[in-house]
Amino acid sequence: MSHSESVAQRRVRMGPRDPDESHRVATPLELLFDLVTVIAVAAAAAGLHHAIAAAHFAEGLLHFCAAFFGIWWAWMNYTWFASAYDNDDTPFRLLTMVIMGGALTMAAGISVFFDTTDLRLIVVGYIVMRVGMVMLWLRAARHDPARRLTGRRYAAGIALVQLYWIALMLLQTRLGAMFYPAFALGAVLELAVPAIAERRGATPWHRHHIMERYGLLTIIMLGETLLAGSMALNQVASEHFNIDLVMVALSALVILFSMWWLYFAREEHLRDRTLSVALIWGYGHILIFMSAAAVGAGFAVLVDIVTGHTQIGVRVGDYAVAIPVSAYLLGLWLVRDRCVLPSPARWVLLLFAGAVLLAPPLLGLEGIAALTAVCVWTRNRLAAPANPPVSVPGG
C-alpha cells in the first residue's frame, strides 16, 4: 500500500518524511496545486502582454514582477514544505485547498492590479495562502520535536511579514512612487524567513522530489509560449494566410523546444542538500520561471503587431521575446551550469544570453529562434564528454 493510500482521509501525525525515500514523485494534490498556480501565472502573463501592447513598458514590467513574485513565493513555500511533511491526511488536504483558494483570489486580483495598481484583492488572496502555511508549520512543529524550533520560526516569520503586507495595502495610496521600493522590501523579508529558519535545523525535503516539482512548474511556464504559438496559427486559420504569423508560430515552437531541452539536460540540477546550494538554486529559479512565462507574453505581443491590434513596432515585439529568452538562459547558468560544467561548456549559456539580446536589430525573431537552437547544440556538444547521463528533474 502506498504512503498516500495508507493515510488518506485520516488524521495522523505530521512527522518528517524520509529525505532518501525511493520512488518519491509528485502527488495528485500537488498537481492540482500546480493547476491553480497556472491560472494565476496566465493572468500575470496576460497583464504583461496587454501592457507591452499599450506601450506601458516600465509599468507593465513592474506589475508583472510584483504579481509573479507573490505567485511564485506561495508556490515555492508550499512545495518545499510538502516535500518534507506531506502526510496526505484530511487536515493537510483541507489546508492545501485553503491555500489554493487564496491563489485563485490572487489570480482574480491581478488584472485589477495591472489596470489600477490596486493591491487589495491580491493581498487578501496572498494572506489566505500564507495563513494556511502558518497552520501547516505549527502542525509540523508540534509533531516533529527535533525541528520544533524550525517550524515555529517559519510560522512566526511568515505571520510577521503578513502584517507588513497588510500595512502596505492600507498605505498604498499614500506611498506614491515609494510603493515599489516598499514592495521590494516586503519581498526581501519573505526571502529571509527560510534562510533564518533553516539555520537551526534543516527540514527533511527530498532532493529528487524537489527537482521534479521545479521541472513540472517549468513545463507549465513554457506552456505560455505554446499558447502564444497556437494563437498565431489560429489567426492564420480563422482570418487569412499570413506568412508573418506562420513565422511567429514556427519561431515560438523552436524557442519553446530549445528552452525545454536546455532545462532538462543530463546534468543534475540540485547537486546536494546544503542550505547555501538550496537557497541559490531555489531562489534563482524565479528568473527561469518568470522569463519562461514572459516569453509567451512576448509572442502574444507579436501576434497583436502582425494582426494590427497594436501600434507598436515589430522591433519592440522582437525585444519582448529576446529579453526574457536571454534572462532564461542567464537563470539556467546561475542555478546549474556555472556549478556543474567545466570550461568552456560552463560559459555557453552566458555567451548566448548576450547574443540573443543583440539579435533583434540584426537578425529579427527568426535569428532569436536560430540562436536558441544553436545554443542547445553547442552546450550539449561541449558538455557531453565530461558528463555521463544522470537523472533529470521529472525523470
Residue 286 cell numbers, joined: 524565479
d(CA 141, CA 150): 7
In degrees and rounded to multiples of 5, residue 388 shows phi and psi of -70, 160
pLDDT reported for residue 387: 55
At CB < 8 A and 24+ separation, what contacts does 147-150 make? Answer: 147/16, 147/201, 147/203, 147/204, 149/200, 149/201, 150/197, 150/198, 150/200, 150/201, 150/202, 150/203
pLDDT reported for residue 97: 95
Cα separation values, 3 from 20, 21, 178, 293, Å:
14, 11, 49, 34
Domains of the chain by range and CATH? 27-200 (no CATH), 207-386 (1.20.1410)
pLDDT reported for residue 239: 62
pLDDT reported for residue 191: 95
pLDDT reported for residue 350: 96
pTM of the prediction? Answer: 0.91
pLDDT reported for residue 243: 84
pLDDT reported for residue 116: 84
- For residue 238, the Cα-to-chain-centroid distance in whole angstroms is 33
Q: Per residue, what are the HEC states of the chain?
A: CCHHHHHCCCCCCCCCCCCCCCCCCCCHHHHHHHHHHHHHHHHHHHHHHHHHHCCCHHHHHHHHHHHHHHHHHHHHHHHHHHHHHCCCCHHHHHHHHHHHHHHHHHHHHHHHHHHHCCCHHHHHHHHHHHHHHHHHHHHHHHHCHHHHHHHHHHHHHHHHHHHHHHHHHHHHHHHHHHHHHHHHHHHHHHHHHHHHHHHHCCCCCCHHHHHHHHHHHHHHHHHHHHHHHHHHHHHHHHCCCCHHHHHHHHHHHHHHHHHHHHHCCCCCCCCCCCHHHHHHHHHHHHHHHHHHHHHHHHHHHHHHHHCCCCCCCHHHHHHHHHHHHHHHHHHHHHHHHHHHCCCCHHHHHHHHHHHHHHHHHHHHHHHHHHHHHHHHHHHHHHHHHHCCCCCCCCC
pLDDT reported for residue 204: 93
Residues in the chain predicted with pLDDT less than 70, given as ranges, are: 1-9, 228-229, 231-241, 385-395
pLDDT reported for residue 291: 95
Nearest to 352 by CA among 280, 259, 220: 259
d(CA 223, CA 218): 9
CB atoms within 10 A of CB 207: 18
